[in-house]
């Protein structure tokens, strides 16, 4: 009976921890997307969500030092239709977020980033990531041991 109670308690503790982790990551994700959206003139996140994903995929590719990324690669990586990716790329080029390089490649526009080095939205994102990391680490910290 005691063993069964210990197993139930362990599963309950694991579920409570997983719930807390999920809440932390959810809060982080919402904070990040809402902060990123603030850089767009449109009214709601849904209107710019795909553009944000395409811009992020381009930045990730640039960070790896890979050749310019193609619309097809972005489409495959994100699971978005190529037509949507192409539309997003056109908008992002018009807004100066990315640039076309070569016939089929795209890179992030460094001038766009440089103009936003100390942008408030970026600082919010950084702070949200640090806070979430601290909370997640605290959940994994060894707690007081209960005597058996």
SS3 string, 51-103, reads HHHHHHHHHHHHHCCCCCEEHHHHHHHHCCCHHHHHHHHHHHHHCCCEEEECC
| pLDDT band (50, 70, 90) for residue 147 | very low
The confidence score (pLDDT) of residue 146 equals 46
The confidence score (pLDDT) of residue 5 equals 66
Residue that wins the pLDDT comparison between 116 and 132: 132
Percent of the chain with pLDDT over 90: 60
Which uninterrupted H or E stretch holds 105? strand 105-108
Q: What is the mean pLDDT of the chain?
A: 88
The two tokens of residue 74 are 């972005």
| pLDDT band (50, 70, 90) for residue 13 | confident
Taking residues 45-55, report their average pLDDT: 88
Q: Is residue 38 pLDDT above 50, yes or no? A: yes
The confidence score (pLDDT) of residue 45 equals 81
Q: Is residue 41 classed as helix, strand or coil in its secondary structure?
A: coil
| pLDDT band (50, 70, 90) for residue 6 | low
The confidence score (pLDDT) of residue 148 equals 44
CA distance 85 to 98: 13
| pLDDT band (50, 70, 90) for residue 77 | very high
Q: What is the pTM of this model?
A: 0.77
Q: Is residue 86 pLDDT above 80, yes or no? A: yes
């Amino acid at each position: 009976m005691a063993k069964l109670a210990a197993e139930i308690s362990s599963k309950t503790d694991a579920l409570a921890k997983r719930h807390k982790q999920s809440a932390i990551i959810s809060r982080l994700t919402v904070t990040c997307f809402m902060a990123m959206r603030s850089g767009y003139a449109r009214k709601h996140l849904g209107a710019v969500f795909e553009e944000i994903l395409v811009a992020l995929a381009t930045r990730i590719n640039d960070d790896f030092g890979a050749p310019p990324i193609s619309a097809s690669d972005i489409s495959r990586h994100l699971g978005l239709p190529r037509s949507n990716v192409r539309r997003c790329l056109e908008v992002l080029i018009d807004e100066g977020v990315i640039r076309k390089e070569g016939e089929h490649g795209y890179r992030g526009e460094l001038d766009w980033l440089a103009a936003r080095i100390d942008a408030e939205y970026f600082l919010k994102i950084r702070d949200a990531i640090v806070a979430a990391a601290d909370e997640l680490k605290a959940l994994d910290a060894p707690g007081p041991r209960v005597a058996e």
